[in-house]
Amino acid sequence: MNPDIQALHDRFALQDLLTAYCYAVDRLEDVEGLVSLFTPDADYDLSAIGLLRTKGHEGIRAFFTRVFADMAHHAHYSANFTVQRLDGDAASTRAYVTGMGIARDGNCVTVHVDYYLDCVRTAQGWKIARFYEEPLLPMPGSLGEIHGREENHAA
Amino acid sequence: MNPDIQALHDRFALQDLLTAYCYAVDRLEDVEGLVSLFTPDADYDLSAIGLLRTKGHEGIRAFFTRVFADMAHHAHYSANFTVQRLDGDAASTRAYVTGMGIARDGNCVTVHVDYYLDCVRTAQGWKIARFYEEPLLPMPGSLGEIHGREENHAA
Amino acid sequence: MNPDIQALHDRFALQDLLTAYCYAVDRLEDVEGLVSLFTPDADYDLSAIGLLRTKGHEGIRAFFTRVFADMAHHAHYSANFTVQRLDGDAASTRAYVTGMGIARDGNCVTVHVDYYLDCVRTAQGWKIARFYEEPLLPMPGSLGEIHGREENHAA
């Protein structure tokens, strides 16, 4: 494919990868579909918002198994998506996300965060190799109440 | 046009169709402009959020004529747009929408919903053949208070 | 470049320009980076939301120097981006933005606005020549409390 056209297709594929992550996180039932968006050794880092950092499919699977069990509703809206670097089979993207959740116990949470994803092209398409997010606005206390619990389970 | 380039143009055109829908719904005055985004026999289905399902331009026109009369402000923000299927002159898209409204009587509503649009390419560009939305988060009671009224008018 | 491909690259570049504006406004520290997104004689017009209208880099720099000093947090999410006109080296774009802010004094503001940008292609890429925004939903009183202050400084 013409490289000028390839770059456009890559941009859409990278945005679709972020969207697939949002869809999977919000579906609350297909952990394997969610895990498959990451490389086997992916770095999944929520430490900047006060939650866990884990590496690889097993850790991501364990975290979201608990999250899906605890949450009744999820909605993650992305905005301001950009490709900050596209270099052959590696790319870095950034986007803002508003994440909303209602736990089964009724507790609610809304976060406004800045996602940084490092992605790699594989035989199965683009995958997330590093997932990192930072607060855009101060995190609400309910974030730790809801998801800190999952990490206590994990400990 | 090269099919690789055509697919990219189609994707933008499909996203623009959703955006045109949001713009028209929020403008609150050009019902014909809104109706023209749909095929003549379009299926407009809000049943999954507790509102009407209607078919064709006449039903859509009647619904939005009442909505525009009742609402003072509308704002529909889309996110997470994807083309889930693009097959020649037919396409299926998905997006999240946050819909906010303030009725003339002061009642307010915010919904977080998942839009599924089936679209067809016509001589006048892409049109919506089926419009379906589902809740992402629980619907507020004010949705039925505001828009249930329009359906009572219709009954 | 093939003009069909060029139009696609331009669209992404124009959306990236809006996103760069949001990122810069939210970073709260790099006034020069923000100013560089505008043409030297840009018209920056917030009059429709009850704030200032100014022309050129100096006025924009002065406004944001005060805004960045007063704000503790900013988050501007864009949605519904469209290119309404693309004519060689000139373009008009539209998007919805949700702007959230927390002032250093604790006052909070959220606005839902409609951005209209006229852009021109320069040797340094696309720049904003005219920036205009309108309310989508009624503006909160805290907008003037927070940013009216900056204009009083300026007067």
Question: Domain spans of chain A?
Answer: 3-153
Q: Is the pLDDT of residue A60 over 50?
A: yes
pLDDT at A152 over 70: no
Beta strand B53-55 with B38-45: parallel, antiparallel or unpaired? antiparallel
Residue A155 has pLDDT above 90, yes or no: no
> Nearest residue of A to residue C21 by CA position?
A80
pLDDT of residue C132: 98
Shortest distance, CA B152 to any CA of chain A (angstroms): 30
Q: What is the pLDDT of residue A148?
A: 74
Reported ipTM: the value is 0.94
- Contacting partners of chain A (3+ CB pairs under 8 A): B, C
Cross-chain residue pair B16–C82, CB shorter than 8 Å: yes
- pLDDT attached to residue A154: 47
Q: Model's pTM, two decimal places?
A: 0.96
Neighbours of C107 (CB within 10 A): 17
Where chain B has pLDDT below 70, the residues are 149-155
Buried/exposed A11-29: b ≥16 CB within 10 Å, e otherwise? bbebbbbbbbbbbbbbebe
| CA–CA separation, C103 and C66 (whole Å) | 12
* Contacting residues of A for B11, CB less than 8 Å apart: 12
**Residue A98: alpha-carbon gap to chain centroid:** 12
Choose which CATH entry (3.40.50.150, 3.10.450.50, 3.10.580.10, 3.40.50.620) describes domain B3-153: 3.10.450.50
Note whether B154 and B52 are within 8 A (CB).
yes
Q: What is the pLDDT of residues A74-114, one digit of tens each?
A: 999 999 999 999 999 999 999 999 999 999 999 999 999 99
Per-residue pLDDT tens listing for chain C (155 residues): 889 899 999 999 999 999 999 999 999 999 999 999 999 999 999 999 999 999 999 999 999 999 999 999 999 999 999 999 999 999 999 999 999 999 999 999 999 999 999 999 999 999 999 999 999 999 999 898 988 755 544 44
Give the pLDDT confidence score for residue A147 in this predicted structure: 87
Under an 8 A CB cutoff, do B80 and A75 touch?
A: no
Q: Which residues pair with C38 in a beta bridge?
A: C128
Find the distance separating the first CA and the last CA of chain A, reported in whole Å: 48
Q: How far apart are CA C43 and CA C57, in angstroms?
A: 9
Query: Given a contact as 3+ CB pairs under 8 Å, which chains touch C?
Result: A, B
Task: Return the closest-CA partner of residue A148 out of A41, A70, A32, A73.
Answer: A70
Write down the pLDDT at residue C151: 55
pLDDT of residue C1: 83
